[in-house]
Amino acid sequence: MIKVDLHSHSTISDGLMTPSELVRHAASQGVQVLALTDHDDVAGIDEARAAAVDSAITLIAGTEISVTWRNRTLHILGLRIDPQHPALQQGLARIRESRFGRAEGIASELEKIGIQGSLEGARQFASEGIIGRTHFARFLIANGHAKDMKTVFKRYLIKGKPGYVPHLWASLEEALSWILAAGGQPVIAHPGRYDLGRTLLDDLFNEFKLLGGVGIEVVSGSHHPEQYGQFADLAHKHGLLSSRGSDYHGPGHSYMSMGRLPDLPSQCQPVWHDWKEVRALAA
């Protein structure tokens, strides 16, 4: 099977590599088709595309949109988008702006437990793109509040912990409308991470499909191997295509190294089955 990785992050969001470093790294690990899917941003696509030409790797323009659905945060990938599309650009800009207020909220919550200067600290770990919890996590680790990413999220940044601030992201309907307007394919990122029971998952997949959603991540860096088969079955049941992505954030900050993802289970119809840029490679 062609080595396709449809989920990755650069310094534009919370990855550790610049878009061109990321593309070169992916190519060096044998990835043939890479989607750059920064959180709520498409600012890295041009640079990634240029680097892909030099590295002989196929770059898919993407983004990972933060969504609030039934009081939970979900991530929806938009694959093969036109990054210039105004509706998509305006929607993403709105989410990015709302992240600043949330970041101030996180900093003031952390101040209450005696951690000063986290907003400036987190900003230093963020480049020109979004600010998010990962940047706070890096600041907290650098200042000795936790030893690694796993611990810092568990101790400070997840629901119920001192630095967690609830936030209203885009609606599912908005995210899909922007992706579809931009000519892209909506895919639910890491559905196994949301802790949804079977009924809620069915509700989500039904609603997603009605809104124009086409696929779910089956093989994801943040799925356990036993979840691959479960989500392959659910994709089949709902008539959804299957995707595959490492969710790479950089060395030591990822669930999965690049180029190490297993193939999709054989019963899956890949989301890229009719993409001409992938067909050209298979030929």
Binding positions for ligand AMP, rule: CB under 6 A = 14, 39, 66, 132-134, 149-150, 153, 249
The closest residue (CB) to Mn ion is: 75
- Could you tell which of ligand AMP, Mn ion, none binds residue 153, using a CB distance below 5 to 8 A set by kind? ligand AMP
- Contacts with Mn ion by CB under 5 A lie at 14, 64, 75, 189, 247
To Mn ion, the closest distance from the beta carbon of 204 in angstroms equals 15
The closest residue (CB) to ligand AMP is: 132
Of residues 141 and 281, the one with the C-beta less far from ligand AMP: 141
- Could you tell which of Mn ion, ligand AMP, none binds residue 20, using a CB distance below 5 to 8 A set by kind? none
To ligand AMP, the closest distance from the beta carbon of 15 in angstroms equals 9
Of residues 13 and 185, the one with the C-beta less far from ligand AMP: 13
Of residues 47 and 247, the one with the C-beta less far from Mn ion: 247
Of residues 25 and 249, the one with the C-beta less far from ligand AMP: 249
To ligand AMP, the closest distance from the beta carbon of 249 in angstroms equals 6
* Burial class, 222, CB count within 10 angstroms (exposed 0-12 / middle 13-18 / buried 19+): middle
To ligand AMP, the closest distance from the beta carbon of 14 in angstroms equals 5
Return the exposure string of 42-69: e unless at least 16 CB atoms fall within 10 Å of the residue's CB, then b: bbbbebbbebbeebebbbbbbbbbbbbb
Residue type, 58: T
Of residues 54 and 246, the one with the C-beta less far from Mn ion: 246
Of residues 16 and 268, the one with the C-beta less far from ligand AMP: 16
Please write down the HEC assignment for all residues of the chain.
CCCEECCECCCCCCCCCCHHHHHHHHHHCCCCEEEECCECCCCCHHHHHHHHHHHCCEEEEEEEEEEEECCEEEEEEEECCCCCCHHHHHHHHHHHHHHHHHHHHHHHHHHHCCCCCHHHHHHHHCCCCCCCHHHHHHHHHHCCCCCCHHHHHHHHHCCCCCCCCCCCCECHHHHHHHHHHCCCEEEECCHHHCCCCHHHHHHHHHHHHHCCCCEEEEEECCCCHHHHHHHHHHHHHHCCEEEEECCECCCCCCCCCCCCCCCCCCCCCECCCCCHHHHHHHC
Of residues 77 and 234, the one with the C-beta less far from Mn ion: 77
To Mn ion, the closest distance from the beta carbon of 258 in angstroms equals 13
To ligand AMP, the closest distance from the beta carbon of 132 in angstroms equals 3
To Mn ion, the closest distance from the beta carbon of 222 in angstroms equals 7
